Amino acid sequence: MTDDLKISVIDHPLVQHKLTLMRMEETGTKDFRELLEEISMLMAYEITRDLPLVDVSINTPVAKCSSKTLNGKKMGLIPILRAGLGMVDGIVKLIPTIKIGHVGMYRDPKTLKPVEYYCKLPTDVAERTLIVIDPMLATGGSAAAALSLLKEKGAKHIIYLCLVSAPEGIRAINEMHPDIKIYTASIDEKLNENGYIVPGLGDAGDRLFGTL
Ligand code: PRP
Ligand code: URA
Which amino acid makes up residue 123? T
CA distance 33 to 21: 11
- Other beta carbons less than 10 A from residue 32's beta carbon: 24
Q: Check if 105 has its Cβ closer than 6 Å to any atom of ligand 2.
A: no
CA distance 27 to 50: 34
pLDDT of 128: 95
**Measured in Å, how far apart are the chain's first and last C-alpha atoms?**
33
Q: Check if 136 has its Cβ closer than 6 Å to any atom of ligand 2.
A: yes
- Cα-Cα-Cα-Cα dihedral sign, residues 105, 133, 158, 164: negative
Q: How far away, in angstroms, is 6 Cα from ligand 1 center?
A: 21
Q: How far away, in angstroms, is 135 Cα from ligand 2 center?
A: 8
pLDDT, averaged in runs of 10, over the chain (212 residues): 92 98 98 98 95 95 97 90 98 96 92 94 95 98 97 97 98 98 98 97 98 92
Query: Among 104, 102, 114, 110, which residue's Cα sits nearest to residue 139?
Result: 114
203 is in an annotated binding site: yes
CA atoms within 13 A on the CB side of 209: 11
- CA distances to 53, 68, 127, 145, 170 from 119, in Å: 32, 36, 18, 12, 23
CA distance 54 to 144: 34
Q: pTM of the entire structure?
A: 0.95
pLDDT of 2: 82
